[in-house]
Structure 1
Amino acid sequence: MSISGKAYIAGVYEHPTRKAPDKSVAQLHAESALGALRDCGLGIEDVDGYFCAGDAPGGLQMIEYLGLRIRHYDSTEAGGAAYPLDIGHAAQAIAAGKCNVALITLGGRPRSEGTATGTTPRIYNLASPDVQFEAPFGATVANLYAMSAARHMHEFGTTPEQLAWIKVAASHHAQHNPDAMLRDVVTVEDVVNAPMVADPLRRLDCCVISDGGGALVVTRPEIALSLGKPLVRVRGAAEAIKHSSGGDVDLVTSAAARSGPMAFQEAGVAPSDIDYASIYDSFTITALIQIEDLGFCHKGEGGRFVADGNLISGVGRLPFNTDGGGLCSNHPSNRGGMTKTIEAVRQLRGEANAAVQVSDCRLAVVNAIGGSALGNRHCSSTLILERE
């Protein structure tokens, strides 16, 4: 069963804080939930489906904390990819009659808790079958992504300067976002001269660490039509998993190579039809590889595609992450799929900052990555959204 046109994103909210030492994680979820419901004119009593991921301090506990009376619940964990994935799952539930109003929340405090994201080993489950083989070698998020960047440079001649253009584009957008953590416009030279984190990735190739949260409200079409907000229809959604296949490792391809074509097929559109792209940007290489895998250019041509301002709104062919993205604005709970979806909805509604608003924005793609790294096990979730 296709979910195309079966659900609409009716409400969105991005928590404005980037540091929340005075708030609990549950508070961030709750304040974001109320913000998204206010955005579309609905109340807690209208929600009959709840969706969350591993950042929630207990899914059942959050249902109680929010005072929800629901008949459908989904706590699929997919890291930063969870929230676009949740929209696809919510659309499926709505199409099947399992719920009418789905609430999706995110919240976290990694900045207040002093998390050194990307530079320390992450072992979530000692019983996980990968731990005994990988943990002794000190794999971290940053060095795993750095391997993908190094391999891409080796295979295709991609340069640090080309990767830097992704950060430059994000900074051009972030200067117009009063909530962005990094609002200064940077140059290619600034990026390539920044301190090294994991060769070849430098400090400015890496995302910010921020507290905060966000929420989305997904509804049946007739409910969205009654709310008086600009209509944003879910036209296509897909998810895919990539792993190391018992040693058959491909460091330069993400799971978006599978989720992207499936979402475009369900939506009945092509990459060339897209007006705006929200692309997960935990690192510059993350965005570059997804751009290739989603079909905006051929594999290996991403460096040339992103160079010379091609991602800057009003300048390039593919305006991306017009809020500044994870590289400059916000990466709440170290999970970027929520904010990527929120900014895509803003663009389709015509509510993005006027300096970066894409003219007559009708079709947007959202892609998010969650898990260990591009070349290791991860999930990709892809959405095609349409202004009706």
Structure 2
Amino acid sequence: MDVTQVLHMNGGDGDYSYSNNSLLQRKVITMTKPIIEDALANLYCAMNFPKTLIMADLGCSSGPNTLLVMLELVKSIDKIRHRLGNDESPEIQMYLNDLPHNDFNAIFQSVSTFQKSLRKQMMQNSSSLPPCYVSGVPGSFYTRLFLSKSIHFVYSSYSLMWLSKVPEMINTNKGNIYMSRTSPPSVIKAYYEQFQRDFTMFLKCRAEEMVRGGRMVLTILGRQSDDPCSKECCYVWDLLAKSLNDMVAEGRIEEEKLDSFNIPQYTPNSKEVITEVEKEGSFAINCLEVSEVNWDACTKDNLNLSEKDDQGYNMGKCMRAVAEPLVLSHFGESIIEEVFERYTNNIKICMSKEKTKLVNVTVSMTRKR
């Protein structure tokens, strides 16, 4: 599997698009807003009211969350500027990065909507519109993306758990598609070592691209447990594995095909994140927080109880928007509908019986001087 070719969220605005099925991710962005504002305030003060700010959203995907991030970053800077009594708005350059097969067309088409939303909110606050310029940057964030010492602020949410490649394994991860209780120890080790290599490379690349004293806020899908196979981080993939294994048992999928499919993801705990940051050495950690979000966050808050009975269905659509390109590239189009129908049913059963959650690790850092 060439991850750079197949790892992207479902584009467009259809029923299974990421654009229409990313409420859970939106909730996480909102939860981490205070950390982002604190990092921006410290950056703005340390730079002594800069006239230009260059910011990057890495793994931006497409849809309303991309607009939300841009809007919140610009609004935060404007609020900080007012609070500190600075009359002049800085010019803001916003770089939006994701892998080449991301739906960049949808992003570019929505820039005018972003500008209108920004103008409306600035007028409500009796504030002038900050000059803001938007550019797309296709490419892997495990490589260099920007000029040396050019970026002031880096942001990423729910992207860095994705690995640059499926780990190379000396043993088959039989019957599994991710780390699991039944995975051989060598598989667990391969996943962790791939995370270490990738996260270190990410930090090295950003260290070269960021100005001294620049700030970076990362939110990574993670775990609280020391066990990399704990339910909190693996359950959502175990349910997809169960769906695929049932189809193997029924002769709908070849066993060898399943055994050669593995999800390129690693969900670290806070200790693992801290260890890699300190080992790489270019950044100082300002704060690190661990939070939780329930699977039912993918359902709108204003739904009544009868509508919320479909929470499992909504989570199934959320996961389809994320996982379908990976499943499609490996198993082909003919089984897609059946796979995700079974997967959604397994999610619904799970959510009807227990409270399910995801864990987020959010870290705010400064590029050392």
Select the structure of larger CA radius of gyration: 2
Q: Which has the higher contact order (CA 8 A, sep 6+)?
A: 1
Q: TM-score by structure 2 length? A: 0.27
Compare the two structures and name the one with the higher helix fraction: 2
